[in-house]
Amino acid sequence: MQVQSMFFKRTSSMKLDDPVLQRNMKHAKGKFVDLRAKAIVEIDNWEDIRTHAAALRDRTLANLDAYLVEFERNATRRGAQVHWAETAEAACDILVEIARANGVKKVTKSKSMVSEEVNLNERMEAAGIRIIETDLGEYILQLANEPPSHIVAPAVHKSKEEVADLFTVAHGRSRTVEIPELTLEARLALRDHFLTADMGISGANFVIAETGTTLTVTNEGNADMVTTVPKIHCVITGIEKVIPTLEDFATLIRLLPRSAIGQTIANYLTLTTGVKGPGDSDGPEQMHIVLVDAGRTRFVGSDMQEMLRCIRCGACMNHCPVYQNIGGHAYGWVYPGPMGSVLTPVYVGIENAGDLPNASTFCGECQVVCPVKIPLPDLMRKLRERQFDNALRPWGERMAIRAWSFAVQRPKLYAALAAVGSRVAAWMGGKDRVIHWMPGADGWTRGRDMPAPEGKTFRELYRSRPSAKGGGAAISPSLGRGQGEGQP
């Protein structure tokens, strides 16, 4: 997928003004949040499982090279060929070459976000190979020639009417807006492709070092088709997806579908290990596994390595107030929401995605819902610091932060400035005590009013409270700790 993240501000404004998208997003957000909330209360030790999962991901990442080599050894032992790709281009080259060498004309593909990262479809088509998306959401988007807007529900931004328009053209049948009918149309259209494709490409939710297994989690069963029917099965996945054992998968699968869509379990958990055996009627004769770096090693060993724990459930975006309002496309690359605000700047360069770490209210909900406890707000804060240190934010913004930093470290100066500032702001608020325009912050006040402050600073109000005259003895300990701490 082409990086469009540099246009975040403009695109997000457009998305906020798009009535169809706003309606579709409103429809979606409640479902994700409610279903997850209901699903996790059924697990009495949810927190313990999260803690265990985060620890097992960290343990693996701390020895990532050795787990990958152990995975490679076991996969190879079972007849799979393991390929390594440093870059997006290299990953595509490997897959195109496998297809060419085997005279492949048609490929069926189940959902893979890594394949979106590396622009696989475009590269395959350019090499004259037809590649067909088989996840219903991805199939819709391939017809619409659009990128996914959500990692689990890629077409969540589309209404059934929009899908109906696409299907009417693609399938040449009379138009219907009934969702079961639309699903049946896609089933019929794709069934023939499943049975006649020369090669299947899947992603992998995890790869297991112990057994050399790659694994997909789906509800539709499309990954099962793609990994069972064609003579060649290729897996494209990131190097961070390796986990040690089957037991670790059992732990993670308690978290993944519940966090993603509030489902106890996905319908198909599909573990594929090597090529078909003698006498097997189905399964591939060749299995290729492409392990992709494409930016992942930049996280390894850094102060942001925790991001590689991610199991791609999408809970962070489902619960993000920014994502809920602008949808996934505004983020301009494969991964929207808080996870994208951390991944995209590191994968494609912070200079191309500078607004993303700033597209957060820091409400902290993403960290609260993350099944593997990734400290997403902390990671976004680190990226903001990097931008500041490398002079990647606008000059005015950096000067303003410097000035504030200077003042806040000098309590007397800060008190004096705050006293002036709050009075000016109170005066600006006028009779209705609302500020309609703020110089230097017109981006903020263009779309919303700001309530005017009282006219006095917190410290002035604190000093003038009745109990202050009694020397503070009347202050309850909790108030003292909660609000008064740090006051000079």
Partner 1 sequence: MSAREKILSRIRAAQGRAGSEPTEAELAAVRADIARRERGPQPGIARTADPLAQFKRECDRVGTTHFEAESLAVVPGAVARYLEANGLGRRLVAWHEFAGLDWHAHGITVDDRPARGDDGTGLTGSFCAVAETGTLLLLSSPETPKSTALLPETHIAVASRQRLVDTMEDAFALLRAERGELPRATWFVSGASRTADIEQTLVIGAHGPYRAHVILLP
Footprint of partner 1 on 18-47 (CB under 8 A): 24, 27-28, 31-32, 42-46
Least separation, in Å, of the C-beta of 293 and partner 1?
5
Q: How many CA atoms lie within 13 A of 63 on its CB side?
A: 12
Least separation, in Å, of the C-beta of 122 and partner 1?
21
474 Cβ partners below 8 Å, 6+ apart?
Answer: 467
Q: Does 86 bind partner 1 (CB under 8 A)?
A: yes
Measured distance CA(346)–CA(299) in Å, rounded: 8
Q: Does 319 bind partner 1 (CB under 8 A)?
A: no
Q: Does 163 bind partner 1 (CB under 8 A)?
A: yes
Among 184, 368, 401, 403, binds partner 1 (CB under 8 A): 184
Nearer to partner 1, 247 or 351 (CB): 247
344 Cβ partners below 8 Å, 6+ apart?
Answer: 3, 5, 331, 332, 333, 334, 335, 353, 356
Q: Does 194 bind partner 1 (CB under 8 A)?
A: yes
Binding flags for partner 1, 392-431, as an x/- string (CB under 8 A): ----------------------------------------
Q: Does 334 bind partner 1 (CB under 8 A)?
A: no
How many chain residues bind partner 1 (CB under 8 A)?
104
Q: Does 75 bind partner 1 (CB under 8 A)?
A: no
Residue 391, Cβ density class (10 Å: 0-12 exposed, 13-18 middle, ≥19 buried): exposed
Quick check: 310 and 374 in contact, CB under 8 A?
yes
Among 3, 14, 16, 69, binds partner 1 (CB under 8 A): 69
For residue 328, give both structure tokens. Answer: 């996934």
Binding flags for partner 1, 272-311, as an x/- string (CB under 8 A): xxxxxxxxxxxx-------x-x---x--xxx---------
| Residues numbered 240-269 forming contacts with partner 1, rule: CB under 8 A | 244-251, 253-254, 261, 264-269
Query: Of the ranges 96-104, 151-159, 338-346, 469-477, which one interacts with partner 1 (CB under 8 A)?
Result: 151-159
Least separation, in Å, of the C-beta of 232 and partner 1?
14
Query: Of the ranges 122-130, 134-142, 332-340, 350-358, which one interacts with partner 1 (CB under 8 A)?
Result: 134-142
For residue 139, give both structure tokens. Answer: 């199939």
Query: Of the ranges 237-245, 385-393, 414-422, 456-464, which one interacts with partner 1 (CB under 8 A)?
Result: 237-245
Query: Of the ranges 271-279, 331-339, 345-353, 444-452, which one interacts with partner 1 (CB under 8 A)?
Result: 271-279
Measured distance CA(415)–CA(434) in Å, rounded: 23
Q: What are phi and psi of 288, to 5 degrees?
A: -120, 135
Measured distance CA(157)–CA(170) in Å, rounded: 20
Among 25, 56, 207, 435, binds partner 1 (CB under 8 A): 56
| Residues numbered 457-476 forming contacts with partner 1, rule: CB under 8 A | none
95 Cβ partners below 8 Å, 6+ apart?
Answer: 120, 123, 124, 201, 234, 236, 288, 290
Closest to 203 measured CA to CA, from 213, 216, 193: 216
Q: Where are the beta strands (DSSP E) in 239-384?
A: 242-243, 268-272, 286-292
Measured distance CA(144)–CA(168) in Å, rounded: 12
